[in-house]
Amino acid sequence: NDLSYAFFSMNSIDAWKSRWVESKHKSDYGKFVHTAGKFYGDVERNKGLQTSQDARFYSASSRFESVSNKDQALVIQFTVKHEQNIDCGGGYIKLFPADLNQEEMHGDSAYNIMFGPDICGPGTKKVHVIFNYKGKNHLINKDIRCKDDEYTHLYTLIVNPGNTYEVKIDNKKVESGSLEEDFDFLPPKKIKDPDAEKPDDWDEKENIDDPEDKKPDDWDVAENIPDPDAKKPDDWDDEMDGEWEPPMVTNPDYKGEWKPKQIDNPAYKGKWVHPEIDNPEYTADPEIYQYASMGVIGLDLWQVKSGTIFDNFLITNDPKLAEEVGNETWGATKDPEKKMKDSLEEEERKKRDAEEVNIKEEDEDKEERDEEEYYDEEEEEGETDSKLKDEL
């Protein structure tokens, strides 16, 4: 079961219909359609599976020969295109064990790995990297930002023997590290010694008040004093206005609260560090990366606004091969795709400008007609007045 090469291109509708199974677990799953979308680099090569109904769950999967990644790299790669300018929805894949019942696949079906972009509003724009380890799903402890534009992007996850991983977007590394350090698969190696306590005489104060520093006798003065330049108004009536009091002003001699100067604490021992011991519950596992059975790749996700296109699914043990496939698929069509989108947007802009000109001309014509009608009515009223005068 050497994992060498499993490529799922959606270029033809026959490949989609023959290789993919839509789940029947629920009757209201959203439907996938086979299309290259509104804009593309190559109308045939860019055809993929597109979500087509808003506010739906989607569930479809494709089976490949059951394999294990023991003692070899595992590479998962695919392309995602949110051409609908997605506001909330998933763009990730799930890798399942070979014993998955595809027609009963659903959100709670046990999977090995979940990987790919997830967007929901301005606050959530992340790349999910989730591994199932001993029956529990573990999320990465790092925040990896996904692409949130409308173009096609290539997502790659590489899992290596030795428990390391790497995440790439558009064939460029965006994150990497240790599975043990960046996920909570295992208990910590070290824990605080439960028998250790900070000594009562341990002094953590770096500085103390100078015991020989004394407050000056003339220090204590009021913060505010009556304005010495203020004078009682000539028209002030004590009986009517009450006893006159001068306004208060800031005392120029006020020095604030007195505090003794600080000196080094001769008893300072530094910050007490709780000693650690080996965690008796920790046991190293060199095979965290490994899955004994992988045989199904699936799309199990929710989308508020549909329109995402998935394509170029690749499962391999060769990171270099994955990079080459990425360049031959996504890399070969990304520039023409952008060019076509720019062209469509330019056509839309010209169309809007033309419509605005037409509306402006129609408004001007209407104003001219209204003005002519107004003068015609004025002329008729003038003739009527003239006849009335003649009759009178």
Structure tokens at 178: 């240790």
Residue 19 burial (CB count, 10 A): 15
Residue 255 is assigned to a ligand binding site: no
Residue 155 is assigned to a ligand binding site: no
| Residue in 303, 322, 302 with CA at minimum distance from that of residue 312 | 322
Q: What is the mean pLDDT of residues 105-113?
A: 97
Residue 184 is assigned to a ligand binding site: no
Whole-model pTM: value is 0.76
Convert the pLDDT of each residue in 214-236 to its tens digit: 988 888 888 898 988 899 888 88
Residue 118 is assigned to a ligand binding site: yes
What is the SS3 assignment for 94?
Answer: strand
pLDDT band, very low/low/confident/very high, at 237 (cuts 50, 70, 90): confident
Structure tokens at 380: 């008729």
Convert the pLDDT of each residue in 34-44 to its tens digit: 999 999 999 99
Query: What DSSP element (H or E) covers 17?
Result: helix 13-19
Residues in contact with 136: Cβ distance below 8 Å, sequence separation at least 6, in sequence order: none
State the pLDDT at residue 1: 41
State the pLDDT at residue 384: 67
Q: Would you list the DSSP string of 25-61?
A: SSTTPPPEEEE--SS-S-TTTT-EEEE-SSSEEEEEE
Residue 291 is assigned to a ligand binding site: no
pLDDT at 2 over 60: no
Convert the pLDDT of each residue in 181-225 to its tens digit: 999 999 999 999 999 999 999 999 999 999 999 988 888 888 898
Structure tokens at 108: 């709670």
Helices first, then strands: H and E counts in the chain: 5, 22
